[in-house]
Amino acid sequence: MFERLEMAPPDAILGLTAAFREDPNPRKINLGVGVYQDSQGRTPVLPSVEAAEQRVLQAGPIEGYLPIDGLPEYAALVQALVFGADHPVIREKRVVTSHTPGGTGALRVAADFIQTQLPGAKLWLSEPTWVNHGSIFEAAGIETATYPYYDAAAHGLAFEALTSALRKVPAGDVVLLHGCCHNPTGVDPAQDQWQQLSDICGQAGWLPFFDFAYHGLGDGLEEDAAAVRGFAVPGRDMLVASSFSKNFGLYCQRVGALSLVAATSEAAKAAQSHVKRSIRANYSNPPAHGARLVVAVLSDPELRARWERDVKDIRDRINTMRKLFVDTLQARGITQDFSFIQNQKGMFSFSGLTKDQVDTLRKDYGIYIVGSGRINVAGMTAANMDYLCEAIARVL
């Protein structure tokens, strides 16, 4: 039965990592997948997480399975991190949170929930968006559509086109928004623009669904959460998919969360019962270890403070690399203006490099960049910057 099958195409992002590993070029650079690397090009265990791990190991293993939606203390800490401890959705018990395997797990659980509980709802994605979004929602049987987001000529937000499209999204459809550090463009709405988008959401009646995978990597933990918090106005339903891959460096532990906000506490409880059915039918219950690390960090004031410094270090290094990248390109005599890269937020830079240029960089220089021209700035170091900019100068 399987003999008729042909090879599926490699994954647009993780497929690059596989190809990178096999590349014998000693100068190769991986700027593909969104994984943080330090100034030595290594993906570190964050000091706060390392300390938390000692405590978790001392506490010993958990017996049996976790609850379907994970540890209650994890849910409470995630809610406080995302919404702020005093937010009305927490005080009024209108938010329910499930621990999911990574942000991708949260997106898929939400997709199954939407498909079964909001049948016929279309899901709207920004153009462009993370390449896996379409696959996740389509795999769950949800029809997707796109709204304009990026102004390629201005290297910025296409705000007029965006607002005009979101005004026309039918009530009851779902709009996926990136909470901060838009992937792949690095272009986020400003605070007043978020406010306008929230007003449009209220008038049009669509369901906001935030993918919040880079919390803390933009302007700061509080600043980056402002859009999500501002959208959670009284009476509004909402979904938030969190990932702790990047801000805790817990990539392979698969730690994420799906938070669902409802207009009342009863509605939130009922909705959560359906989310739990989706989880049970999907992976049954979540893995414990990564969530225990997050709990250990966020519940201890000392480790929490250390973690906030760790996140700041990541953010600062990325921003330093953005500047060095722009300066080095300039120093190479490249006349094309790349200064916009310094205004983009988070791990990625939408470089404007074409598919052909990206292919040449990979084949001739061993530099791995996602086909859309998205560059992981966190893969740049002072040591590889000259080689990278020299290669870019040549393909340009």
- Which residue is catalytic, options 122, 124, 130, 276? 130
The nearest distance, CB 104 to ligand LMR, in angstroms, is 6
Give the residues across from 348 on adjacent strands.
376
Q: Is 183 in the site for ligand LMR (CB under 6 A)?
A: yes
Enumerate residues 6+ apart whose C-beta is below 8 A from 301.
none
Residues 8-27 that bind ligand LMR (CB under 6 A): 13
**How many chain residues interact with ligand LMR (CB under 6 A)?**
6
- Which residue is catalytic, options 69, 112, 246, 307? 246
- Residue 211 annotated as catalytic: yes
The nearest distance, CB 344 to ligand LMR, in angstroms, is 14
* Structure tokens, 115: 């498909």
Nearest by Cα to 179 from 211, 202, 157, 148: 211
- Residue 219 annotated as catalytic: no
* Structure tokens, 41: 């090009």
Q: Is 369 in the site for ligand LMR (CB under 6 A)?
A: no
Q: Is 33 in the site for ligand LMR (CB under 6 A)?
A: yes
Nearest by Cα to 347 from 181, 221, 222: 181
Query: Binding pattern to ligand LMR, positions 226-265, x when CB under 6 A?
Result: ----------------------------------------
Closer by beta carbon to ligand LMR, 33 or else 291: 33
Q: Is 34 in the site for ligand LMR (CB under 6 A)?
A: yes
Closer by beta carbon to ligand LMR, 130 or else 365: 130
Closer by beta carbon to ligand LMR, 46 or else 165: 46
- Residue 345 annotated as catalytic: no
Closer by beta carbon to ligand LMR, 100 or else 132: 132
Closer by beta carbon to ligand LMR, 130 or else 210: 130
Enumerate residues 6+ apart whose C-beta is below 8 A from 269.
96
Nearest by Cα to 286 from 105, 78, 80, 60: 105
Q: Is 130 in the site for ligand LMR (CB under 6 A)?
A: yes
> Among the residues of the chain, which ranges form H helices?
14-22, 47-59, 72-83, 88-91, 102-117, 131-139, 159-167, 191-204, 221-224, 226-231, 265-282, 289-298, 301-331, 355-365, 385-395
CA distance 261 to 265: 9
Q: Is 132 in the site for ligand LMR (CB under 6 A)?
A: yes
The values of phi and psi at residue 394, to 5°, are: -70, -45
The three-state secondary structure class of 240 is strand
Active site residues: 130, 211, 246
Residues forming the site for ligand LMR (CB under 6 A): 13, 33-34, 130, 132, 183
